[in-house]
Structure formats: C-alpha cells, structure tokens
Amino acid sequence: MADIESVQPKIPLGHKVRAALGALLALLVILTGVAIVLVVSLSRDESRVKDDVPFATAIASASLDAKSVANDQRGFLLTGDSMYLREADQSATAVRRELATAVRVATTDEQRRAASASSAGFERWWTATRAEFARYQAGDKQAAIAASVGPDRALRKQYEESLQQTRSLGQTTLQSATSWLPSSATRAVVILVGCLVVALLAGSVIAYWLVRQISMPLFKLAAILTADPL
C-alpha cells in the first residue's frame, strides 16, 4: 500500500507579517486605552477636589464673618456707638451670602442639610440681636444687655456649634478628596509603567519573531544562490 503523506499547508509569509504587525498595533491600542482610562480617573478625582473647595471656603468665610457680628454686637451694647451697628449689618449680610453659597455649591445632601441648619440658626440669632439693638436705641439698655447674655446668648451658642459642625464636615470632605488624589496619581503611574514594560517585552518578542520569519527565507535563498554547482 502506498504511503499517503499528509501535506501541512504553510502560512504565507505575508500573512505572518500582517499578523505580527496587527499584534503590535493591538498592544499600542491597549496601552493607549489604559493611559486614557487613567487620565480620565485622575481628572475625575481632581474635579472632586475642585467641587469640594467652594463649600469649605464659603463655610470658613461665614464662620469668620459671624465672629465679627458677635464682636460688633458686644461693642454696641458696651458703647452705644452706631458704627458697630453698620459693621454688624455688613458682616451679617456677608454671612447670609456665604451660607447661601454653601447651600448652593454643596456636593452632598449631608453638606446641604448642615449648611441650611447653620443658616437657619444664624437667622434666629441675628433676628434676636437686632431686637436687642432696637431695645437699646429705645432706651431700654438693661433689657437689651440682659437678653444678650441670656436667651440670645443661647441662640448664638447653638448657631456657632452648628456652624462649627458644618465647617468640620467641609474640611473632612476636602481632606478626604485631597488625600485620595496623590494615591490615585501614584497608582496611575505604577499601572502605566507596568503596562509599558509588558508592552515593550511583548513587542520585543514579536519583533524578534518577525525578523526571524523574514530573515530565515532570505538566508536560505542566499545559501542556494551561493552554493557550488554539481
């Protein structure tokens, strides 16, 4: 019986070259995709920090201006100088504006509720303080002073405590965001470098294989051409 040889079809060199180039292109696309994902992730973390800054800034400014209102209150009740009234009105307007800004730029429901509660507490105290000023100007100085150190002082303590809690909330959120950003950047660099090393190794293997596939037939052809004729 005649032996039957099974002939294995050879893959044309052109197909091999195209496959190798396609693999290199796929590595480039994958590496580019990873880089894009990492950049988008870093941009998202940076946006998170930027979103938290206005809230923390507004609350910090409101706390500072609220202290100025309290100082002007005491100054007026001690001296009766109307200059303190004007300054108290200006500082109170600033506090209202800054707390309204905090409510508007809040990034979470917790921040929004806290800022709204601080705003409501300040309004209660400021309404009582203006009533003190009116009593003082009407000649009832003792009643105005008694109110300032009695029930109105309790209102001031309440809004100051609320405002401090709101400020702590803003600072905690901002610190959390800013502490996350460096670690995100470090992780992104590590991942990108790792992907680059893998891509370089894989690309070197493919390039070596491709050179061999092209050079071996050339070497064989050169050997045939330079062989001595029989």
Indicate the number of domains in the chain: 1
Distance separating alpha carbons of residues 154 and 162, to the nearest angstrom: 12
Residue 7 lies in a domain: no
Helix, strand, or coil (residue 92) = helix
Residue 230 lies in a domain: no
pLDDT surpasses 70 at 223: no
Residue 55 lies in a domain: yes
pLDDT surpasses 50 at 6: no
Residue 146 lies in a domain: yes
Residue 66 tokens read as 């609220």
What CATH number did the domain enclosing 191 receive?
A: 1.20.120.1730
Residue 3 lies in a domain: no
Higher pLDDT: 9 or 209? It is 209
Residue 8 lies in a domain: no
83 neighbors 117 (Cβ within 8 angstroms) = no
Residue 113: which of 162, 49, 64, 177 has the closest Cα? 162
What would the mean pLDDT of 63-70 be, rounded to a whole number? 93
Residue 217 lies in a domain: yes
Which domain, by its residues, includes 191?
14-224
Distance separating alpha carbons of residues 71 and 133, to the nearest angstrom: 14
Residue 136 lies in a domain: yes
Q: Which of 82-86, 92-96, 106-110, 216-220 comes out lowest in average pLDDT? A: 216-220
pLDDT value for 27 = 72
